[in-house]
Amino acid sequence: MPFLYVGGFLYLVLEIFLIVDFIHEFGIWTFFLEIIISGVLGIFILFRERLHILEDLSQMFSGTMTPMGFLSSNFFRMLGAIFLILPGVLSDCLGIILECVGFIIANHSFLKKSPEHFENFDRPSKPFFKDDEVIDVEIISDDKNPKQEKR
């Protein structure tokens, strides 16, 4: 728990330092404009995220995306949008990085399965038995149940 306090304190100190440096370099009005633009962009991404979730869900059910790829890409995109809404230079940088990571995960081939994988899924590549000849036997009993209830 103290790690969270130290991490939060370091984040605030670094954020304040970057804000002061940004204002000193570009001016206060540019900083306000950056806050407004990144906030609107973050809200826009959050509203569009519903469509991305539906698209990724259909990709997952069609077999072109793994469930882990679905969860991680949507998590990173949502977290990136929230960081973009928060005011500050460091939070905007983290938001942009998380959005890029979510985009890469959603579109990268190592998290997508090829359609050939699912076409051959029901047909095993090797037979389970060394002998291809299998005899199917069904036993039908002619005896009636000896433990019938008496009425």
* Residues of the chain where predicted confidence (pLDDT) is lower than 70: 109-134, 143-151
pLDDT of residue 112: 54
pLDDT of residue 57: 82
Angle (CA) 54 57 63, round 5°: 145
- What is the pLDDT at residue 79? 93
pLDDT for 69 equals 81
Q: Is the pTM of this model over 0.75?
A: no
- In order of 31, 44, 59, 150, the CA distances from 111 in angstroms are 38, 26, 11, 64
Long-range contacts of 1-5 (CB under 8 A, 24+ apart): none
Query: Mind giving me the DSSP string for 5-36?
Result: HHHHHHHHHHHHHHHHHHHHHH-HHHHHHHHH
